[in-house]
Amino acid sequence: MKQPIDSHLTTPSRRIFLKSCAAAALAGAVSRAADAPLRQPTVPPAKRETRTPRVKLPAGTCDCHAHIFGPQTQYPYIADAAYIPPDQTLDDYVRVHKTLGVDRGVLVQPSVYGADHSAMIAAMKSGKFNFRGVAVTAPDVTAKQIEEFHQIGFRGIRINLASKNRGLSFEDASKLAQLIKPLGWHLQFFANVKSIAAVEDRFLALPVNLVIDHFGVIDAAAGLDSPEFKTLLRLLERPNVWMKLSGPYHISKQAPLAPDVTPFVHRITATAPDRLVWGTDWPHPTAAWMPDDADLVDMLADWIPDEALRKRILVDTPARLYQFA
């Protein structure tokens, strides 16, 4: 049975990082008032600086999957958080994305914040970037609360079946779909495609657009003829199923450029060219290996060599899905 995505406890980079954090704590490098202890990071940070990519992104490019973390002093994590990220703030996000040439962004509520969207909402209201958001609501969220989220810029709800801190379940999907349908929102699923296949009829019957995260967490090593990939392609043939080209480290072990992902992207773009979006997954909190964000942009030259299709995926399709003006 595949372990949750955020349970990668044995990677060498993670072991080294945890040792360095422990040493820093013992040395007293990080301190906080005794009544409000700062929790030590358990995952490494994204690379603070990145280069300008070789691939020039078209104007209006949208990174459709990223997260904001911290400052932890203002936005604490839930008690049973599966991981504790270092601060990766709005200013860090803006600096990296301006270097990459990204103009629009979609923030996704991280599982370690539960249903507390304070950090995301502060970023979205800051005016520092052109944002939309994907929420992780409480199961009993009301239509009024959904409308309030909409006014802030949220356009979807994420159901997480792949992490330890799962939040919403598939059983919540039907009710949520009815609430969000009048506003044109979508349901986003972070799940191994096998989990979706187990409830495929009910999944496809949901009356809203359905967005699959991170390639459906398939295994690139299993090849193009694997049952999981065939299932993903079958799902993508349906007119309300979309996918994010994001997180190659969730499906490939071939760091740092994941060349084995390219043939999968070619099959996917041939199947659903009008229902694909792209994302960096910055700051990569559950990555099996840490990428350079400029490399993620440069992968697009091989993934989507046709510039017209690339613009469609980077600019036009996100504008439709997330209702950018």
Is 103:60 a contact under the CB 8 Å cutoff? yes
CB atoms within 10 A of CB 112: 23
Query: What are the structure tokens assigned to 176, written together?
Result: 């949520």
Distance between CA atoms of residues 2 and 288, nearest Å: 14
Angle at CA of residue 220, ends 215 and 226, nearest 5°: 95
Query: What are the structure tokens assigned to 248, written together?
Result: 């190659």
Of the candidates 46, 39, 52, 42, the residue with the CA atom closest to the CA atom of residue 68: 46
The SS3 call for residue 123 is: helix
End-to-end CA distance of the chain: 43
281 is catalytic: yes
Is 240:210 a contact under the CB 8 Å cutoff? yes
Give me the amino acid identity at 41.
P
Q: Identify the DSSP state of 100.
A: H
Q: Which of 172, 213, 281, 293 is catalytic?
A: 281
CA atoms within 13 A on the CB side of 79: 0
User: Chain centroid to CA 238: how far?
Assistant: 22
Distance between CA atoms of residues 133 and 131, nearest Å: 7
Evaluated on CA atoms 260, 266, 272, 276, the torsion sign reads positive
Residues marked as catalytic: 281
